[in-house]
Amino acid sequence: MTADLSPERLLVAYANGIFPWPTSGVPMIPWFCTNPRTVLVPAQITVSRSLRKDLRRAPFTTTFDQAFPEVIAACASMPRREGSTWITPAMIAAYTRLHELGFAHSVEAWNGDRLVGGLYGVSLGAAFFGESMFHLESDASKVALHRLLDTVRAWGFHLVDCQMMTSHVRRIGALEWELDHFQERLEAALAEETRRGPWPADPAPVDREILVQT
């Protein structure tokens, strides 16, 4: 446990498969390294016909790194089941600093000029570490996620770290890797050059054509 959320500590932690997760009632910040680890391999994503239809119907455009403070604030405003958020003011400040340094990124989903969904995470080498997502309209966060997956797939990313399994990432082919295997694959991903931000900003729909249909 530590209160240190400096960019240097956060980057070393992610490079070792460790992430902070503040817990209610615990004054210091616990660090986690879950085993097994849930990951998405961008080149192996599967999209069902029904999900493809949902994505096509969604009236959203997407951007990268155009509203990072708003995205992380919106994620923080969504309470956990016990009624509190793990995204504390200290976490917001720390990841905003990582964003300013080009390591933390947001994906925004817009309906017109209204931010209705998105996600944020950290990118090192050819790995993206997803942290949190939110939606104000149905499927908005899914559209943001698939824009991320489309993009990092085109860039040759090795993995997207989801930390733990959810129903949606399971639906699109998330894997559970034992920790030794995860760290081995992470080491290979970190050998690639880091794409520091900001990432491409032009609004665009999800590129549904490169998604694998099952």
In tens digits, the chain (214 residues) has pLDDT values of 456 899 999 999 999 999 987 666 665 678 989 999 999 999 998 877 777 777 778 789 999 999 999 999 999 998 654 445 678 898 999 999 999 999 999 999 999 999 999 999 999 999 999 999 999 998 899 999 999 999 999 999 999 999 889 888 999 999 999 999 999 999 999 999 999 989 986 655 444 343 333 3
| pTM of this structure | 0.89
Which pLDDT score, from 0 to 100, does residue 82 have?
47
- Comparing C-alpha atoms, which of 30, 35, 36, 37 is closest to residue 13? 30
Which pLDDT score, from 0 to 100, does residue 29 have?
75
- Taken in order of first residue, the domains within the chain and their CATH numbers are 34-213 (3.40.630.70)
Backbone CA torsion sign across 127, 163, 71, 210: positive
Which pLDDT score, from 0 to 100, does residue 58 have?
78
- Comparing C-alpha atoms, which of 197, 196, 194, 198 is closest to residue 15? 194
3-state percent helix, strand, coil for the chain, nearest multiple of 5: 35, 25, 40
CB 123 within 8 A of CB 138: no
